[in-house]
Structure 1
Amino acid sequence: MLPMAMLLAAALTVHAGTSYDYDADDRYGVYAYAYSDTLYGPPDVTKWAPQPKPAPAAPPVLNYQVGNGDTMYQIARDFNISLQTLMDYNDITQPRGLQIGQTLRIPQPDENIGLPPGDAPVVSRVLSSTLTAYTAGIESTGKTAAHPDYGITYSGSRAEEGRTIAVDPKIIPIGATVYIEGIGIRKAEDTGSAIRGSRIDLFMNDVGQAREFGVKKNVKVFVLKEA
């Protein structure tokens, strides 16, 4: 004798709008799964199976090269992380005893700060700088467009907005790449009589924009170690 599910499947006629999983169950008193397997094949339960969660992405990492006078406390503060986080991330049990030239791995709680792609960059110094802006014109350099050195930087390159900054070479070497928080990557190519200490002058083409930029204080600047 055929099972009830098979007899039911043979006897039922498909009508538009009929759901056999439920309508037939109500009308004929059979369990939906009994004839559902017959009519449609076994249900695909894999779509209800719990899916593995992707592993959390590792935080972006910077490398910091310890310089003269650096302390774990200062480095942690510069990168806005706790001292304990810095110690744990570098398997350090005592905060004292750093060596000049030692490299520390710095986890970044936020997304990468905008440093160039590739291997984890090495930061050689973190500064709290005052930012101003300048142009190639007479108001900033004393030179007119007719001057043979108009627009030429201390390094010999032509000043370019979005790349060139003027620095104090005693603090940031000429040719160094820096990341300025809120600004981006810039290249130390120029100097200026008023640029002393950690102050940085950003080159701009338009004098109006340079004046509008004004003075911005306590801006964090990461000096990158050349590869």
Structure 2
Amino acid sequence: MKKLVVAFTTFSVIFTVSAAINVSAEEHKVQEKESLWSIAQKYDTSVQSLIEINELDSTIIHPGQHITITQEESSKKSYTVKKGDTLSEIGEEYNVSVNKLMDWNNLSNTTIRIGQELKINHPSKENNNAKVEKKQNNKVKAAKESNEGKQDPAAKTITVTATAYTAKCEGCSGVTATGIDLTNNPDKKVIAVDPSVIPLGTEVYVEGYGKAIAGDTGGAIKGKKIDVHVPTEAKAMNWGVKTVEVTILD
């Protein structure tokens, strides 16, 4: 995305399985105004996966282009709600959204009860032991996180040079490399990255900035450098050039 860079860098789980997992592929024909990001969201995959499967050199796609989608298919699973569970925690464990869990189980709100069986239609990529460990780690992380939002030290963290940019500038398109419209979403947390360091579509936590999506690229963003999006030029100026830690959340 063409943008104004204001600061220059100086630098216990119960589940049942009724069938094995299979891998299938299908093709998607790109429509007007679609981006790799919107296609990835539609098929519950990642931008980086689409780039690798289709051997793309960039995130640029065109109407009429055919994009191969590889998906894992598995039979439905069920999850038994335990004391202290929330839909948010269950969704995080199975890498699905709360809205999907509500839709699959015909829930009108997020209230669940102990012993309730929830349908899980999303394929799991982890075995049972890994799931138990992940849930335990999530609880440890929640206990360790401070009010400032520090992340679990076991997560992958890298140190980068961070500058800031705003989409509100003369000649700026306001749309990121993954199709995020920052003009209409000025407060959205987005960072520009080098995809070889942080894949596009990755959720991250940036020290001093918060939780964000790696949704943009930039000509000057190479190696361990990032550009954080802020809503105004004044805030970009105030950010300046910083050395910060970035924690990879997915």
- Normalising by the residue count of structure 2, what TM-score does the alignment of the two structures yield? 0.38
Greater Rg, structure 1 or structure 2?
A: 1
Q: Which has the higher contact order (CA 8 A, sep 6+)?
A: 2
